[in-house]
Structures are given as C-alpha cells and as structure tokens.
Amino acid sequence: MKIEEHFTLARLTTVGIGGPARAFARPESVAELEKALAWAAGRGLPVVAIGLGSNLLAADEGVDALVVRLAGELAEVETSDSVLIAGGGAPNAVALHRARAAGLGGFEFACAIPGTAGGGVRMNAGAYGGDWAGILVRALVVDAEGSRWCSLDELDLSYRHSSLEPGEVVARVEFQLVSRAEDEIRATVAEMQAQRKATQPTNKRTFGSVFKNPQHELGAGQLLEACGLKGYRIGDAVISPRHANFIENAGSAQATDALALMAEARRRAHEQFGVVLEREVELLGGLDF
C-alpha cells in the first residue's frame, strides 16, 4: 500500500473543496488498514477516514493528518442469508444494488444518501424515516490499538450522531435486512429518487445538509428560506436556490466562503427565529464553526 504525500482533498469531496492531506492511503484489507494506522501512530499523525466525502468541508490549507479512503475488499459488499455485509468504504449505491439483487429490502432509504457504509455509521445517516440505527447489527472498528466488533448499543447511534472517536475507522458493517421482491425495491427507490430530485440540488457540488434540523416546527432549510437566503452568495459558495440547507460550489468556492455563508445563515436564523442552528457537515483541518 502506497502512502502518498500532499494529496488534494478537493478530489475526494463531493463539494470539490479542500487543500492537501499531509498523507493519504487507500488500504484494501483490515491488515493494510492496521498497518496504515500504525504508520500514523508512529509519527504522531492523527487519522481521518474519508468515505465519498459527501458530508465534509475540508480546510483550504489542507489537513495535517493521514487520510484513509477504504478500497479493495474494504469497499466490497456481499450478502449472507438476510444479512448485508458491506466494507466500510462500500458506496451506498453498491450496497443497495447488492441488496436488491439478493431480494433484500430495508436499505432503500439509502438511495438518496451519496456516501459509504462506514460514513453512514459515523453520521447515523438517514432519510425517509430510515437510518443506519434501524438496520445495523454491528460494525468492525479499527484504530491504532487493533480491531474490534462494536454492537449497535456501543455505537450509540442517534440523529446524525455516533460514539465513534476521531481515528476510529469502520472497516466493515453488517446490516439486518428483510426479504423483499426486487420490483418492489425498484419502485420504492424510484419514488424516493424522484422526490429528492424535486426538492434538492442533486446535480450540483454540495456537501449535503449544512445544519441539523432544529427542535422547531420548521426544518433548517425552511428556516433559512424564510430568512430570504436562497441564492445568497459569498465568493463562489451559494446557498442553493433549490433547498436553503445546501451550499453549492458554483465555481472555485473556498472553505472560507462556505464557512462565511454558514455564519451568516446561523446569525439570521437566530435573529429572526431565536434558533441556534447546529452544524451537520463535518469539518476537517482546523476549521472552526
């Protein structure tokens, strides 16, 4: 496994923002992942796992860490009876395809979440009333000390939250699914995707939801829309005209532009509704919000 230096993170994030990672590796097995983590520990370097970078904003100056993106067998998916076993780096689209081919339902909600099995554990990703917590059985977690299986209880999943600490990498995930006909799965997925297309910017560079939905009758997007922020722009970062809880990279947006937009959005939501919006997007590389 090669360890590359100064790999540009903009290439690994859906929003296309981010400077270089001090070191970058694509481990293809648990043994390679353990080796990479030991390499980082030996140098006192923190470790960051990146999935498809679909909920990440990385600093323009880069990240002083070893960034790992799981590949090879750590990005593969198989089924065993009604259990879907996904490598931590397996894209949700691949896992959904495998589940459907095996006649297994329960993962359809993930069709709208452009991340990986491991990133989904970290974020307890969810949509359309389903989330990782609802189907996850256990996850193989690797850190500098070695690897261990963690149960659903140990992972303590709740709304966009897990107990995973920085440096803990999810290498494999097991999901309990249920028997469902392929054409029913297809129909549900088509319906969810059409709904997404109608309400969210699906063909723009974004990092997904900027803020978590607050305890309020309006969701974060509705609050920000009511603040008149749709289309508001700083540099090349734009609050999506389609859905105000998304920031689009309209050209060569910088992380600082996105952060400035986030600050303005939070300020306005507080001023007009008394709501303090909590960040959902994960920040990398010393960004503060």
Ligand X SMILES: Cc1cc2nc3c(=O)[nH]c(=O)nc-3n(C[C@H](O)[C@H](O)[C@H](O)COP(=O)(O)OP(=O)(O)OC[C@H]3O[C@@H](n4cnc5c(N)ncnc54)[C@H](O)[C@@H]3O)c2cc1C
Residues that bind ligand X (CB under 6 A): 14, 48-56, 70, 88, 112-116, 118-120, 122-123, 125-127, 164, 169-170, 206-208, 282
Asked if residues 31 and 12 have their Cβ atoms less than 8 Å apart, the reply is: no
* Number of other residues whose CB lies within 10 A of the CB of residue 45: 17
CB closer to ligand X out of 270 and 279: 279
Cβ 271 to ligand X shortest distance, Å: 27
- The residue number whose beta carbon is nearest to ligand X equals 51
CB of 89 to ligand X, least distance (A): 6
Query: Which residue from 108, 165, 107, 96 is spatially nearest to 137, judged by alpha carbons?
Result: 107
Q: Is 209 a catalytic residue?
A: yes
CA 283 vs CA 78, 88, 170, 208: distances in Å? 32, 20, 18, 13
Residue with smaller CB distance to ligand X, 14 or 79: 14
Pair 75, 115: CB distance under 8 Å: no
* 8 Å CB contact between 135 and 99: no
| Helix spans in the chain (H) | 30-42, 92-101, 117-123, 132-135, 152-155, 182-199, 220-226, 255-273
Q: Which is nearer to ligand X, 179 or 195 (CB)?
A: 195
Please pick, among 34, 168, 280, 282, the residue that the annotation labels catalytic.
Answer: 280
**Closer residue to ligand X in complex, CB, 31/181:** 31
**Shortest separation between residue 238's beta carbon and ligand X, angstroms:** 15
- Residue 14 identity (one-letter amino acid): T
The catalytic residue among 160, 180, 266, 268 is 160
* Minimum separation from the CB atom of position 179 to ligand X (A): 25
- Helix then strand then coil, % of the chain, to nearest 5: 35, 30, 40
Residue placing its CB nearer to ligand X in the complex, 51 or 60: 51
What is the CB-side half-sphere exposure of residue 149 using CA atoms within 13 A? 6
In the complex, what is the shortest distance from the CB of residue 116 to ligand X, in angstroms, rounded to a whole number? 3
Given 54, 162, 209, 240, the catalytic residue: 209
Active site residues: 160, 209, 280
